[in-house]
Amino acid sequence: MRAGFADRYGPWALVAGASEGLGAGFAHALAGHGLNLVLAARRAEPLTALADALPTSTVTVSADLSTMEGLRAVVDATDGLDVGLVVANAAYSPIGSFVSMDPDLTRRAVDLNCRMPLELAHRFLPPMVARGRGGFIVMSSLAGMQGSPPITAYAATKAFGAILAEGLWAELRGTGVDVLTCIAGAVATPNLAGAKARPAPGTQTPDQVARAALRGLGRGPRVIPGLGMRVSSALMSRLLPRRTAIAIIARASRDLRAPGIPAGPTG
Ligand SMILES: NC(=O)c1ccc[n+]([C@@H]2O[C@H](COP(=O)([O-])OP(=O)(O)OC[C@H]3O[C@@H](n4cnc5c(N)ncnc54)[C@H](OP(=O)(O)O)[C@@H]3O)[C@@H](O)[C@H]2O)c1
């Protein structure tokens, strides 16, 4: 536990997309730092089970964060709470050929993966700046560092999240508010297990990724958890030609599948 973490980022943290996987990992790690938690996701049952397992105070909000109504419900639930840290974690990834895909699916990805962190930043950053302390984490992905079929739209939304966070990090330097994007490689979550037949080499646990992100707060604009992932990121983004990087990701993602959506040409 880092000394002063709760003073700097507490007493309440909001985890958007907390019911399982990485969001639940963040909730456990933050409770370990003594923070109280607002836990938001669509499914009430796993949220309640998680809340019951945490040692600090919790509020659960069952809401669809891809809608403005859901976002308002989360904001309303934080009324009167001193929220010092926000983790924009929930994401949706439609998998398959873009041209065969229902446009509603890619709209949903943009609504959840881009509009959600943007709206939460508008709502929570100004009071943090006024107080002179706080933190904001946007979950991104190595998939967002280049074109990534057959998760083309998802990858583009993850690029948005990373760039949004880096810009906010620069804007808010010196205010006491730390913004960070956590650019994860493969993480062993139920979501990944449902989409991928075999785990990729170097797959990390939600706990490892959440802890790396929290350690990275206040130390720069981005963190890439795991040495192997940092090496692969440097190779893909700095050394290889773009078309080679895109081909490598397409090959690594070829066993990704979602029911009802045909795989793309690279799938
Ligand atoms: N898993 C990986 O390999 C990996 C790799 C790189 C980056 N990431 C990033 O890490 C983050 C977490 O990924 P994940 O694999 O743990 O799972 P996920 O499928 O992104 O879901 C995580 C949480 O978000 C909630 N959620 C999903 N849609 C929602 C919605 N419309 N409204 C409210 N909550 C919603 C889910 O709960 P409900 O279903 O109850 O709503 C769940 O609690 C994402 O931002 C992802 O892009 C993941």
**Average model confidence (pLDDT) for the chain?**
93
The CATH number for 103's domain is 3.40.50.720
Q: Mind giving me the DSSP string for 165-199?
A: HHHHHHHHTTTTEEEEEEEE--B--HHHHHH-SSP
State the pLDDT at residue 3: 54
Closest atom of ligand 1 relative to the 42 alpha carbon:
41
**Which one, of 94, 29, 19, lies nearest residue 50 by Cα?**
19
For the cut 90, the answer to whether the pLDDT of residue 93 exceeds it is yes
Region label for 237, one of left (φ > 0), alpha (ψ between -120 and 50) or beta (otherwise): alpha
Ligand 1 centre from 179 Cα, in Å?
Answer: 20
CA geometry: angle at 204 spanning 234 and 180, to 5°? 60
In a domain? residue 99: yes
- Tell whether 70 is covered by a domain: yes
Residue 32 maps to a domain: yes
Atom of ligand 1 nearest to the CA of 19: 43
Q: Would 237 be classed as within a structural domain?
A: yes
- Give the closest residue (by CA) to ligand 1 atom 36: 17
Q: Is 184 in the pocket of ligand 1 (CB under 6 A)?
A: yes
Atom of ligand 1 nearest to the CA of 46: 40
- Over residues 195-211, the mean pLDDT reads 88
Domain that holds residue 103: 5-252
Cα 106 to ligand 1 centre (Å): 15
pLDDT at residue 1, rounded to an integer: 53
To the question of pTM greater than 0.85 for the whole model, the response is yes
Q: What is the mean pLDDT of residues 169-183?
A: 98
Does residue 265 lie in a domain region?
no
Supply 7's token pair. 């003073």
Domain count, the chain: 1
As a whole number, mean pLDDT of residues 39-49 equals 98
So what's the pLDDT on residue 264? 36
Pocket test for ligand 1, best of 14, 22, 50, 223 (most atoms within 8 A of CB): 22
The rounded percent of the chain whose pLDDT value lies above 90 is 88
Domain membership of residue 263 (yes or no) is no
Binning pLDDT at 50, 70 and 90, where does residue 2 land?
Answer: low
**How remote is the CA of residue 25 from the centroid of ligand 1, in Å?**
11
Question: pLDDT band for position 261 (50/70/90)?
Answer: very low
Distances (CA, A) of 92 to 27, 65, 140, 216, 247: 19, 11, 12, 24, 23
**Residue 195 resides in a domain:** yes
